[in-house]
Amino acid sequence: MKFVSILFIAILLIHQQTDAQSVRQLRKSTELKMPKGGGNNGGTVAQNGKNRYFYATVAGNKTYSLAYFNVVGEMMSPPDLALLADVRGLWYNPALKTFQGNLFGDGGWVTYVMDDAGIVYDVKPFAKGQLQPFPNSVGQYNMRENLVHFLKGSTVVSYNAATGAEDKTKTFVLKVGYSKKTPPPADYKIDSNAVLTNYNTTTVIYTGISNAEFGLLNVQTKEIELYSKADGLMYQKLKLPADAIVNDKLNFSFSNSTYFLYDARNRAWVGYR
């Protein structure tokens, strides 16, 4: 009996430790200070696959800032560099060796033209029409499958990065708020197109992490929730610091294992790990 009691306590402790590991505390790791200019919303942070610089945007107008930074957060771009297009999502396409982006509304997608120093100096149309669920949708790139992911309610919809066409075989319904430890009820029904409450509604991040591929920003709890594309359940919570700035649209991104939030007051993308 004594052995059984000790074994039970050991199992209980392991279970508690496993539960504790389901929430991980994030800490500030970097800050990308944008140059002075217009706009109050951050669009995207994406990494240049060639020089490894972070390219960061302010969303809302083609004249707003596009800036790039080295790995320690020093701005390396000219202070007057502009987006040149009303971009929401931005991603580096390794096949084209340059950036692409989805524009506001029905503006379509564009491809950037860059010089050898990484400075963008022109944009060219790539695909026409509203190739995204909503006007302010922010695309996140999945290099493994060459897809661009968007959030539509609690559904992740995917577009072929080579053509701009929607790939309906790559649609993932997220069971928001539910996990294996707290599964949805047997009669659970979901309107996967209904706009989420208490979450950032324009952006779903793609992490590439097995069983935690997609991330949502819970603005009420200040947590980033990671969901599996296999079953749509939440597998991990990432707790943001108490002073982190969260928004229910835009201002949220992911790049190079770093979770980014935009602080409009200080005009900076703050990275957490």
Kindly report the CATH number assigned to the domain that includes residue 243.
2.130.10
Position 96 scores a pLDDT of 94
**Residue 3 confidence (pLDDT) above 90:** no
In a domain, residue 19? The reply is no
Domain that holds residue 133: 27-272
In a domain, residue 122? The reply is yes
**Residue 133 confidence (pLDDT) above 70:** yes
Please give the model's pTM, rounded to 2 decimal places: 0.91
In a domain, residue 197? The reply is yes
- Number of structural domains in the chain: 1
114 Cβ contact list (under 8 Å, min separation 6): 98, 99, 120, 121
In a domain, residue 2? The reply is no
Position 11 scores a pLDDT of 40
In a domain, residue 66? The reply is yes
In a domain, residue 114? The reply is yes
Q: How far apart are CA 234 and CA 212, in angstroms?
A: 8
12-64 pLDDT per residue, tens: 333 433 443 479 999 999 999 999 999 999 999 999 999 999 999 999 999 99
| Cβ burial 119-145 (10 Å sphere, 16+ → b, else e) | ebeebeebbeeebbbbebbbbbbbeee
Please state the rounded mean pLDDT for residues 166-174: 97
Q: How far apart are CA 113 and CA 120, in angstroms?
A: 6
Based on the number of CB atoms within 10 Å of its own CB, is 251 exposed (0-12), middle (13-18) or buried (19 or more)?
Answer: buried
In a domain, residue 21? The reply is no
CB 161 within 8 A of CB 120: no
59-98 pLDDT per residue, tens: 999 999 999 999 999 999 999 999 999 999 999 999 999 9
Range of weakest confidence among 10-19, 35-44, 104-113, 261-270: 10-19
116 Cβ contact list (under 8 Å, min separation 6): none
In a domain, residue 17? The reply is no
